[in-house]
């Protein structure tokens, strides 16, 4: 009997279908056709674990995702930013929000990452934490120097000095400014301003106590608790599944 994370197609070559997001029509058509034309008894579409990725434990915790799926520049950014906030005595809920503010960028999707990230964590954190993660995205585009946040020079480099955010970003920033959790979301932007910092990332284990107090880890493991967002965590575990 196959265990949960065993490869379901042993002894076969497994092909990865191109994901439709961001693909042009022709590129998508050609990519899918190439995979379909390559299928054979010993060549199948990728399902289950991809051996090129670290294996996720059977009942994964948030820290397991940091160990196996949250990596690269964004991982260092999250850990470094949250560590600074912790050292400066910020409220633990704010530290957790800073730790998770770019979780979608790190392991799922970049576009509207604050909204995706907030949705991923909403069943497991207090409303304040999810709010701070969601609204840091829109607030980053608007300076609040009284609260320690100038407009980031990196955004001029990324998007150009004449960039104007779309209307929904402007409207959500205005909503956030008038919300009781505004300062929590604003603190996320303050500690989110060290994008090019080369400081070595601290060990994610230093946040274990804060996570234990403020993240409701499901006993079944993230992705397997039948929550409204379980599918998002499963997508992170098995990002190359064909269906």
3-to-115, 210, 226, 236 alpha-carbon distances in Å: 34, 32, 19, 19
| pLDDT (average), residues 20-32 | 70
Question: For the whole prediction, is pTM greater than 0.85?
Answer: yes
Would you place residue 6 in the very low, low, confident or very high pLDDT band (cuts 50, 70, 90)?
low
Domain 62-235: CATH architecture, name and number where available:
Orthogonal Bundle (1.10)
**Amino acid 215: pLDDT:** 98
Instruction: Give the model's pLDDT for residue 222.
Output: 98
CATH 1.10.3210.10 domain residues, the chain: 62-235
Which tokens is 17 given? 């279908």
pLDDT band at 75 (very low <50, low <70, confident <90, very high): very high
3-state secondary structure the chain: CCCCCCCCCCCCEEECCCCCCCCCHHHHHHHHHHHHHHCECCEEECCCCCCCCCCCCCCCCHHHHHHHCCCHHHHHHHHHHHHHHHHCCCCHHHHHHHHHCCHHHHHCCCCCHHHHHHHHHHHHCCHHHHHHHHHHHHHCCCCEHHHCECCCHHHHHHHCCCCCCCHHHHHHHHHHHCCCCHHHHHHHHHHCCCCCCCCCCCCHHHHHHHHHHHCCCCCCCCCCCCCCCHHHHHHHHCCCCCC
User: Given this model, what pLDDT does residue 5 score?
Assistant: 47
Share of the chain above pLDDT 90, in %: 73
């Amino acid at each position: 009997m196959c265990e949960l994370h065993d490869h379901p197609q042993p002894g076969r070559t497994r092909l990865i279908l191109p994901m439709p997001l961001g693909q042009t029509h022709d590129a998508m058509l050609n990519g899918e056709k190439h995979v379909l034309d390559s299928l054979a008894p010993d060549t199948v579409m990728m399902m289950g674990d991809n051996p090129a990725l670290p294996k996720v434990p059977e009942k994964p915790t948030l820290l397991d995702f940091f160990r196996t799926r949250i990596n690269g520049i964004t991982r260092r950014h999250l850990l470094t930013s949250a560590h600074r906030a912790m050292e400066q005595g910020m409220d633990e809920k704010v530290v957790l929000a800073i730790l998770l503010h770019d979780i979608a960028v790190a392991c799922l999707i970049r576009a509207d990452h604050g909204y995706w990230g907030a949705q991923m964590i909403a069943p497991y954190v207090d409303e304040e934490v999810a709010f701070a993660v969601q609204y840091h995205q829109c607030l980053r585009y608007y300076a609040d120097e009284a609260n320690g946040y100038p407009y980031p020079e990196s955004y001029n480099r990324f998007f150009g000095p004449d960039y104007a955010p779309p209307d929904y970003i402007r409207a959500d920033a205005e909503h956030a400014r008038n919300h009781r959790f505004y300062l929590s979301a604003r603190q996320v932007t303050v500690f989110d301003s060290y994008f090019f910092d080369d400081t070595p990332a601290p060990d994610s284990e230093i946040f274990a106590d804060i996570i234990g107090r403020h993240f409701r880890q499901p006993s079944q493991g993230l992705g397997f608790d039948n929550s409204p967002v379980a599918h998002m965590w499963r997508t992170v575990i098995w990002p190359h599944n064909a269906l």
